[in-house]
Structure formats: C-alpha cells, structure tokens
C-alpha cells in the first residue's frame, strides 16, 4: 500500500512541475483528493508553491485553510508565496499564525520574511525579524544574509547593509547588485561606482542598476557611457536596459544609439516578446521627431496595450499632428481598447494643437459620461490650453474658476500665455497675480506682472512691483527684463 501511495505522490509531483501539466491545477487537485492525499503536507506545499507562481493566490489560501495540521514546509510555502505577491503583510501574518501553533521556524522561513519587509520598506518590522534570526542562530545562512542586506539597502540604511556585507565570506552577484543599487538610490554614486568596479563578475542586472539610477538622477551622459561600456563588454541588453536607455537617448539626442537599440531589439526577439519595448521605441521616435518610423513601429507591434496607443496619440500631439491623433483615438475605441486618464491627456493635447475646440469639449465631457474617468489637474490644464490657444480666453478662465481642485502654476501660466497672445490684459493681470501668490519666490512671475502693467501703461503699478520685489528680497534672474 505504501509503495503505491508513494508512486501516486511521485506522479502528482511530476504533474505539478511539468511544463504542460502544471497549469491544470483543478485536475491535479482532484487527482490527489481521489487518492486521499489532501492532508499530505509534502504534496500541499508543492501545490501551493505552484499556485503562487501562477498567481492563483486565493486558491493557495483555500487549500491551506482546508489543511488540518499544516507543518513547517506548508507554512514556509505560504510565507514565501505571500512575500512575492501583494499584500506583502500576509507573509508576516502567516509567520505569526505559525508561531502561535508552536511550530519552530527553520532556515527557509526567514529569507521570505525579510523580502516582505523590504517590499513594504518596513524597517522596524525587518529589524524585528533580524533579531529573531540572530536569536535562533541562522544569521550565517547565505540567503538570509542577502535578505538582511536587501532590507537595509531598500530602506536606505547603507551603513547597516555594509556591516552585513563586509562579514559575508562569499558574495554573489545578487548581493553586490543590492549594495550598488542601495548606494545609488541614496545619491552616493561614487560608492556605487566603486563597488561596481570591485566586482569580479557582473550580470546584466549590475549594468541595469547603474544605468537606471544614473538616468533617474539626471546624469544621462554617464548613463549612456555605462550602456556603451556594457555593450562593448559583450553583455546583451535586456528589456530593462532598453526601457531605461531609450529615454536617455531622447534627452541627449543620441538618435544613432536609439536606432542601434531598435535594430538589436528586433534581431534579439525582445521587440517580439515585450510590449514595453515597442512602446519605448514609439515614444523614442516621436520625441526625436521621426514620426514616420514611430508610426511604422506602432503598426508593426505584434501586441499592443493602452500604453502603446497613448504613446502614439501623445506623440502625434507632440509633433503637431493633432487631427491624426484624434483619428487614432477613435480607432482605439473601435478596437475596444479601454482608454485611461493618460489617453485623454494625449487626445486633448491633440485637440489643442489642431484647434479642435468643439471636439475637445466633447471628449472632455465624455470622460465621465462614457468612460467613468474623473478629470484630473492635467486634463483641466489641457482644456485651458485648448480654449486659450483658440482665443476663448474668458471660457478658459471660467473653467479654471469651476475646477473641483486648486489650479496650479502651469494652468495659470497657460491662461496668461493665451491672454497675452489675444490681448486680454485684464485677465492677464489676474493670472499673474495668481502666479505670484502660488510662487512668491519665482522672480519671473514678478517680471511678467511688471510687464503686463507696463503694456497697459500702469507705471505706478510697475513701481509697486519693484518695491514688492525689494521688500521680499527677490532678485531678478539673469536674462529677464522689466519694462518701464
């Protein structure tokens, strides 16, 4: 009997880990129920791990709660599964339940708990887990040390991370990458670079960490330099590399490198496998003004999502092809792609650039009426821009006054620009006053206010602005001129 039982168990484990069969969870579940293995902790821990890998989290929880006597292996599967899926707090809840049942943790319990604390950026909870690790004597396990380094690095506690890192006899590439990312995230690029250069071997992730951190910190030249070194050292860029580097190419006008990435993405299969690559290429070509190639990439994409359509619609607005952008929006709706708030930012910008006032008003109204999307500040900004560009300055001002949120400097700036273009000095004065209230430190607003008064011949008011600037100790920025 025990021999056949073990044979069934082996067969179920084979089904759970087989490429073609592992997705058939309900059939596998029925199979081990039929053979009365539904209380086998070994089978259940494997089953739950597969559930989590397939994002069947509620199924994993159901199986666990139907188990009479879960052991350490089953609890570890639940703790690990929840450490990789939101809400990460559940991982810590299962640890608490485990302890309340008198089950002692082993070396496989703590690494996922530390991962949860890192994902939550919960330093206090992580320090509590670290203390438990020390109290049970598991701090020398490599996976746990990596977890502790990740916790402290994620929370910006680089001195604590360095203390653990320095004590590690064997440091793999994962822990080096965690340290580099940690230092770069807190802005200590010199230390990040130093560690990067000390590594005996790199992974693609090592290069990606340096590139993305430098790019996000506005150090584009260095980011591009690292990318070129990566390429020269024979490392093949992956999806994360491409998505990080293409915006850098835009800002540095490095069209040739962006085109090389496009060619590489096609030949390597990245373009075929990741929608994000096509989206990034569309964005790159649009922002470089190479619209024909952007449209070709967009049309040729094997799969598209709402981000793809948004990138192309916004790109058309950016390049002054508003009517084409509105047409593309209509095509998007005809293909049953659900627009989001970013879609409307793009299509309203298209209307503004093409002067399509009525169409813009209709689209703005459709956001809530048809698509259940509440307009945000940027949508109101687009409408103010649309109305202002078309000379409907009073209507733009009325819209600002009826907004459900407080207008920002960008919106008042758009109105001011329209007022000056269409010679409505009264509203221009009102807009600049709002700007000086919002940004009292910005000398440019005072210069604008002074110039508006000068254009209206209000020389007494011009003098008052000068006095106000002196009283508030606001210095005029170089290159700005005050008329009068």
What is the arithmetic mean of pLDDT over 29-52? Answer: 73
Q: In the predicted model, is pLDDT for residue 458 greater than 90?
A: no
User: Is 0.95 topped by the overall pTM?
Assistant: no
Q: What is the pLDDT of residue 483?
A: 46
Q: Which CATH superfamily is domain 375-473 in?
A: Tetratricopeptide repeat domain (1.25.40.10)
Q: What is the pLDDT of residue 475?
A: 64
> What percentage of the chain reaches a pLDDT higher than 90?
64
Position 479 pLDDT exceeds 50: no
pLDDT of residue 405: 93
CA geometry: angle at 252 spanning 480 and 224, to 5°? Answer: 135
For residue 36, what pLDDT band results from cuts at 50, 70 and 90? low
Q: What percent of the chain has pLDDT over 70?
A: 90
Which pLDDT score, from 0 to 100, does residue 8 have?
63
Q: Can you tell me the mean pLDDT for 423-452?
A: 80
What was the pLDDT predicted at 482?
45
What value does the mean pLDDT take over residues 368-385? 94
């Amino acid at each position: 009997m025990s021999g056949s039982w073990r044979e069934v168990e082996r067969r179920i484990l084979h089904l759970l880990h087989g490429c073609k069969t592992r997705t058939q969870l309900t059939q596998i579940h029925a199979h081990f129920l039929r053979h009365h293995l539904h209380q086998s902790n070994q089978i259940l821990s494997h089953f739950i791990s597969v559930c989590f890998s397939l994002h069947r989290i509620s199924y994993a929880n159901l199986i666990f709660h139907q188990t009479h006597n879960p052991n350490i292996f089953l609890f570890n599967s639940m703790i690990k599964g929840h450490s990789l899926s939101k809400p990460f707090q559940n991982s810590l809840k299962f640890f608490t339940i485990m302890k309340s049942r008198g089950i002692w943790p082993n070396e496989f319990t703590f690494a996922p708990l530390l991962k949860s604390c890192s994902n939550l950026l919960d330093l206090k909870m992580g320090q509590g887990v670290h203390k438990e690790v020390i109290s049970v004597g598991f701090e020398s396990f490599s996976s746990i040390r990596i977890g502790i380094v990740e916790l402290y690095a994620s929370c910006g506690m680089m001195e604590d991370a360095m203390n653990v890192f320095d004590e590690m006899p064997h440091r793999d590439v994962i822990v080096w990458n965690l340290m580099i990312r940690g230092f770069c995230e807190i802005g200590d690029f010199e230390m990040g670079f130093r560690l990067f250069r000390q590594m005996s071997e790199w992974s693609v992730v090592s290069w990606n960490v340096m590139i993305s951190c430098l790019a996000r910190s506005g150090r584009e030249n260095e980011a591009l330099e690292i990318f070129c070194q990566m390429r020269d050292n024979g490392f093949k860029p992956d999806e994360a590399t491409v998505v990080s580097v293409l915006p850098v190419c835009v800002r540095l006008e490095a069209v040739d490198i962006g085109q090389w990435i496009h060619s590489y993405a096609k030949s390597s299969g990245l373009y075929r496998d990741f929608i994000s690559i096509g989206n990034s290429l569309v964005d790159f070509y649009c922002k470089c003004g190479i619209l024909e190639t952007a449209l070709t990439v967009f049309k040729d994409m094997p799969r598209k999502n709402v981000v793809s359509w948004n990138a192309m619609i916004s790109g058309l607005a950016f390049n002054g092809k508003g009517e084409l952008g509105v047409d593309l929006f209509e095509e998007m709706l005809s293909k049953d792609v659900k627009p989001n708030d970013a879609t409307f930012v793009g299509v309203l910008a298209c209307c503004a650039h093409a002067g399509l006032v009525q169409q813009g008003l209709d689209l703005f109204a459709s956001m809530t009426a048809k698509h259940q999307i509440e307009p945000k500040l940027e949508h109101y900004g687009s409408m103010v821009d649309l109305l202002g560009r078309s000379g409907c300055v009073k209507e733009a001002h009325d819209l600002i006054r009826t907004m459900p949120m407080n207008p920002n400097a960008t919106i008042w700036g758009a109105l001011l620009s329209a007022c000056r273009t269409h010679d409505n000095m009264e509203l221009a004065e009102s807009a600049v006053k709002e700007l000086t209230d919002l940004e009292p430190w910005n000398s440019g607003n005072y210069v604008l206010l002074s110039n508006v008064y000068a254009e209206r011949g209000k020389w007494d008011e011009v003098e008052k602005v000068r006095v106000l600037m002196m009283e508030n100790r606001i210095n005029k920025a170089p290159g700005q001129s005050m008329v009068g």
